[in-house]
């Protein structure tokens, strides 16, 4: 204990009173030296000789001083301080070098932190539900449909009979209009089964969730509000429970209010963004005939019992499914597809994010290699300084430490700047990502991100600093001092090392370039493929009719006809239509089990297609071309022969070599009367199912007056000759004129909808392209550095060559040749790596392979051209070698 106190006291003294300790050390050693001189004099050696002899005997004074300091240990702190001050001075001496290095580091560290924030928010953060790893989504699967929604009556059987779930629920998007509190507003709402919130593990903050009684037809007039809606529309009234509010013109009793920040678990059909996006929930009522099982449009979600895996649960469900299939023909050919909720949410972007992290990691690696390269070059130029410091008693470790201090200082500057860039970058990134991107709201720059930044900053500093530091501290003292006077020479080893680093940089840059190249081609393919509709100059908005006021199909049809007739007379409007669905907004509902007259359903499979309803001008307004037959007309009304329009995909699937026009389909009747049949009157072009997916799914449309159900929730579509935004006011006015209680919601331009669908591939292309450009510039800097250094070493040789008759062109070729050779090795390695990694990208590409030869050739050409440009200045300089000076030196 005593000893430690003493040690601490001594160290503090040596540190706090450095000056004094240093002088004392000096005096102490000088005393010794003087005594030695006196002794030498006494031995009869001459005065001058005596002193020299004493010094010789003593050895290096400064070495001994350094060692004494070493014994005092305080030099760790002291040296660090000294090293840092020295580093600042040295960096200040070569501002261009410092700025280049710090900026490249800032960009690459910033990009890494930004991408890491996204990964942290989307992939790393646990889902915002307790024990979220036990949540699983439930879908159907068949030969034709990889992921298909659940139907209501099957759900009830599964809920009653399964032994794998603690709780199992369904939910389905069912927006609803709130009126009676200010302007009517459309609420983003879901119909849910009892126990939905139990599955999620979130309890209402007030009130309760729905019970089984409320699932029965006629009992569902109760509602649970989100905290947001409760505050915004009801002023956070504490007496809200039990209050009656008007939804779709019907009274609903508020039975619960959720706590703030209840995250929507995502839905595949008519999807709503993740996060706190849902306004209200009301009960799903199980209506209709249990024998018919009902249409597939429900999203299943369940909480696994502890210890039960998703595979086991799926097996359990499939046993029940097989049993159901023996009772209900419509259930034949289906299996259950179960997937953990986490995977369902982040699955679509998982690979993309890892690819981005990989790309940005490569950039950081290149930045490190590049900086190491620049540092090596500088170390060569500083050989004399290093030799002098070594001669003055600096140990090798001390030299390494000094160099590391410089690189760490640059890394810390770069990292600090990078952290700033990252926080700005993340905000920009989130703004550019589409609203449907998984867990967008969870992306923040937080402590973990800053920790990550700090870590990579330190790792970067050590990584790029250590090699050059170790290299240059190996300086041969004598040679360094002797040759230091006339520009230092690099040893063969250093030159080789630097060339290897450049080859590495070029190859990594090629990997990134190739990635960006194929992503660009894929993106262009996406843009150029025919979407199947014409999104330009089209305004869309959702106008929903509550079924209490618009009780009959006639009333619904009449409303939309009056509205659209009025709108189509507006100046500039080319076509005005309405339909149940818009492309690429998640319209995926399918209807199965209908009858095609004269066709047999394939074994274990029923007829399936997506169902929609539309007005006559819907197709013209949205720009879907007619392929055969006709569009709907105003004569396709109630009582008239029933008409149907199918798309080409449906025509191809069920009439592979025939014209479907004139065939008849019946949807719901066991023994259809003549008037029950719908006759196909037209075939329209396919709309790609998803922007990234060239396939179109079979689909058909009913005319609104002849639709089997009372769909009163339509998207109005207005095609205009010019900018359609100005039509918004007219649309609102027209709707208000017909029924002031209606809300006009989701007003958007169709090209916005289309652009949003492309925003994920667009932003990933932008990022990878940015990273590739950064990588290429870094590689160019690296090549420039190596070649220009090599040229300065060989000026003498070039002079000789010119003297011996070489032309400028010969010299340029010589220099360029060296650069191209290095690049060629790098390109070969890079393309090899690209081919090896191609599998990772392939699934993200559209219409192009990751091994696309054209792209690879372009990458090689770009790399070589960049290398040639990077070394051209040096090559020019080589031609200016003076033959006379060279000869004279010989």
Partner 1 sequence: MSKPSDLIQGTLDLLILKTLALEPMHGWAIAKRIQQVSQEVLQVTQGALYPALHRLEQQGWLRAEWRASETGREAKFYRLTKAGRVQLDKELEQWRRLSHAVVQVVGEA
Please report, as ranges, the residues that interact with partner 1 according to CB under 8 A: 2-3, 6-7, 10-11, 24, 27-29, 31-32, 34-36, 38, 57-60, 63-64, 67-68, 70-73, 393, 395-396
Nearest to 318 by CA among 307, 297, 299, 334: 334
d(CA 203, CA 226): 12
Does residue 198 come out as left (phi exceeding 0), alpha (psi in the -120 to 50 range) or beta?
A: alpha
| Residue matched to tokens 């992503």 | 519
* Least distance from partner 1 to the Cβ atom of residue 47, Å: 18
d(CA 16, CA 295): 83
* Least distance from partner 1 to the Cβ atom of residue 61, Å: 9
Nearest to 699 by CA among 590, 791, 617, 775: 590
* Least distance from partner 1 to the Cβ atom of residue 385, Å: 18
* Least distance from partner 1 to the Cβ atom of residue 11, Å: 7
- Give the count of beta carbons closer than 10 Å to the beta carbon of residue 807: 11
Nearest to 710 by CA among 590, 558, 553, 550: 553
Q: Which CB, 73 or 305, lies closer to partner 1?
A: 73
Nearest to 768 by CA among 415, 362, 383: 362
* Least distance from partner 1 to the Cβ atom of residue 13, Å: 10
Q: Which CB, 38 or 287, lies closer to partner 1?
A: 38
Does residue 686 come out as left (phi exceeding 0), alpha (psi in the -120 to 50 range) or beta?
A: beta
Q: Which CB, 56 or 671, lies closer to partner 1?
A: 56
Inter-residue contact 661 to 682 (CB < 8 Å): yes
Nearest to 591 by CA among 198, 814, 293: 293
Q: Which CB, 29 or 53, lies closer to partner 1?
A: 29
Q: Which CB, 68 or 241, lies closer to partner 1?
A: 68
* Least distance from partner 1 to the Cβ atom of residue 40, Å: 13
* Least distance from partner 1 to the Cβ atom of residue 89, Å: 24
Does residue 87 come out as left (phi exceeding 0), alpha (psi in the -120 to 50 range) or beta?
A: alpha
Q: Which residues contact 389 (CB under 8 A, 6 or more apart)?
A: 399, 402
* Least distance from partner 1 to the Cβ atom of residue 24, Å: 7
d(CA 399, CA 469): 8
| Separation in Å, CA 748 to CA 26, 565, 635, 763, 860 | 82, 21, 30, 21, 44
Q: Which CB, 34 or 842, lies closer to partner 1?
A: 34
d(CA 625, CA 135): 43
Q: Which CB, 74 or 707, lies closer to partner 1?
A: 74
Q: Which CB, 41 or 412, lies closer to partner 1?
A: 41
* Least distance from partner 1 to the Cβ atom of residue 398, Å: 10
Q: Which CB, 399 or 860, lies closer to partner 1?
A: 399
Q: Which CB, 69 or 173, lies closer to partner 1?
A: 69
Name the 3-class secondary structure at 436.
Answer: coil
| Residue matched to tokens 């050989």 | 383
* Least distance from partner 1 to the Cβ atom of residue 85, Å: 23
* Least distance from partner 1 to the Cβ atom of residue 477, Å: 10
d(CA 850, CA 351): 15
Name the 3-class secondary structure at 169.
Answer: strand
With DSSP H G I counted as helix, E B as strand and the rest as coil, what are the percentages for the chain, rounded to 5? Answer: 55, 15, 30
Q: Which CB, 57 or 237, lies closer to partner 1?
A: 57
d(CA 232, CA 242): 18
* Least distance from partner 1 to the Cβ atom of residue 470, Å: 17
Q: Which CB, 21 or 514, lies closer to partner 1?
A: 21
């Amino acid at each position: 204990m005593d000893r430690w106190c003493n040690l601490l006291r001594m160290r503090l003294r040596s540190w706090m009173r450095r000056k004094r300790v240093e002088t004392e050390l000096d005096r102490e050693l000088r005393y010794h030296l003087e005594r030695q001189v006196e002794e030498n004099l006494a031995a009869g050696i001459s005065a001058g000789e005596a002193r020299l002899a004493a010094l010789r005997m003593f050895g290096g004074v400064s070495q001994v001083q350094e060692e004494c300091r070493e014994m005092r240990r305080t030099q760790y702190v002291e040296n660090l301080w000294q090293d840092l001050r020295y580093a600042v001075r040295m960096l200040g001496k070569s501002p261009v070098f410092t700025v280049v290095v710090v900026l490249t580091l800032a960009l690459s560290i910033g990009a890494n932190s930004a991408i890491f924030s996204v990964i942290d928010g989307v992939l790393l953060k646990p889902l915002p539900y307790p024990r979220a790893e036990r949540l699983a989504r439930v879908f159907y699967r068949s030969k034709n449909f990889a992921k298909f929604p659940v139907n209501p009556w099957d759900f009830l059987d599964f809920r009653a009979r399964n032994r794998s779930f603690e709780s199992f629920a369904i939910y389905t998007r069912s927006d609803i209009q709130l009126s009676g509190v200010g302007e009517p507003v459309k609420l983003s709402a879901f119909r849910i089964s009892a126990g939905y919130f139990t599955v999620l593990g979130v309890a209402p903050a007030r009130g309760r969730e729905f019970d089984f009684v409320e699932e029965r037809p006629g009992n569902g007039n109760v509602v649970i509000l989100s905290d947001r809606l409760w505050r915004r529309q009801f002023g956070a009234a504490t007496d809200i429970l039990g209050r009656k509010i008007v939804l779709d013109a019907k009274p609903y009793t508020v039975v619960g209010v959720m706590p703030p920040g209840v995250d929507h678990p995502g839905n595949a059909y008519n999807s709503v963004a993740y996060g706190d996006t849902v306004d209200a929930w009301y009960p799903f009522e199980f209506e209709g005939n249990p024998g018919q099982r009902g249409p597939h449009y429900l999203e299943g979600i369940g909480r696994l019992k502890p210890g039960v895996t998703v595979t086991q649960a799926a097996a359990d469900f499939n046993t029940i499914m097989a049993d159901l299939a023996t009772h209900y023909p419509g259930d034949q050919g289906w299996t259950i597809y179960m997937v953990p909720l986490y995977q369902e949410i982040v699955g679509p972007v998982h690979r993309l994010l890892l690819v981005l992290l990989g790309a940005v990691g490569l950039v950081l690696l290149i930045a490190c290699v590049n900086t190491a390269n620049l540092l090596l070059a500088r170390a060569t130029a500083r050989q004399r300084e290093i030799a002098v410091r070594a001669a003055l008693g600096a140990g090798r470790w001390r030299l390494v430490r000094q160099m590391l201090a410089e690189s760490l200082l640059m890394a810390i500057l770069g990292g600090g700047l990078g952290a700033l860039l990252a926080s700005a970058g993340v905000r920009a990134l989130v703004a550019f990502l589409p609203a449907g991107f998984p867990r967008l709201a969870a992306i923040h720059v937080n402590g973990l991100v800053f920790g990550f930044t700090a870590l990579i900053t330190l790792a970067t500093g050590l990584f790029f600093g250590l090699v050059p530091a170790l290299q240059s501290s190996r300086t041969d003292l004598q040679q360094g001092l002797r040759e230091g006077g006339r520009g230092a020479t690099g040893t063969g080893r250093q030159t080789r090392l630097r060339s290897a680093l450049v080859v590495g940089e070029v190859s990594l840059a090629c990997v990134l370039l190739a990635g960006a190249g194929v992503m660009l081609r894929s993106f262009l393919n996406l843009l150029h493929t025919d979407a199947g509709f014409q999104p330009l100059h089209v305004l869309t908005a959702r106008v929903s009719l509550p079924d209490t006021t618009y009780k009959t199909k006639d009333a619904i049809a009449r409303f939309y006809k009056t509205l659209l007739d009025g709108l189509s007379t507006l100046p500039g409007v080319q076509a005005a239509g309405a339909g149940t669905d818009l492309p690429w907004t998640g319209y995926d509902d399918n209807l199965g089990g209908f009858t095609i007259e004269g066709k047999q359903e394939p074994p274990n499979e029923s007829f399936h297609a997506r169902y929609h309803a539309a007005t006559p001008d819907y197709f013209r307004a949205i720009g879907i071309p007619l392929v055969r037959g006709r569009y709907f007309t105003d004569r396709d009304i109630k009582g008239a022969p029933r008409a149907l329009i199918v798309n080409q995909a449906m025509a191809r699937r069920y009439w592979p070599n025939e014209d479907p026009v004139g065939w008849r389909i019946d949807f719901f009747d066991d023994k259809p009367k003549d008037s029950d049949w719908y006759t196909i009157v037209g075939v329209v072009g396919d709309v790609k199912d998803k922007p990234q997916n060239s396939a179109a799914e079979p689909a058909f449309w009913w005319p609104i007056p002849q639709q089997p159900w009372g769909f009163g929730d339509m998207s109005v579509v207005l095609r205009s000759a010019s900018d359609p935004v100005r039509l918004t006011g007219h649309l609102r006015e027209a709707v208000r004129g017909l029924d002031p209680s209606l809300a006009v919601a989701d007003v958007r331009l169709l090209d916005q909808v289309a652009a949003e669908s492309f925003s994920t591939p667009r932003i990933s292309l932008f990022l990878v392209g940015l990273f590739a450009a950064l990588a290429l510039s870094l590689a160019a800097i690296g090549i420039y550095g190596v070649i220009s250094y090599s040229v300065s070493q060989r000026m003498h040789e070039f002079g000789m060559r010119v003297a011996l008759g070489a032309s400028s062109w010969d010299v340029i070729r010589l220099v360029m040749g060296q650069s191209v050779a290095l690049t060629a090795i790098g390109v070969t390695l890079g393309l090899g790596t690209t081919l090896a990694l191609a599998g990772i990208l392939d699934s993200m590409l559209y219409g192009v392979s990751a091994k696309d030869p054209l792209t690879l050739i372009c990458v090689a050409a770009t790399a070589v051209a960049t290398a040639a440009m990077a070394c051209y200045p040096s090559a020019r300089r080589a031609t200016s070698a003076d033959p006379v000076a060279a000869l004279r030196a010989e």
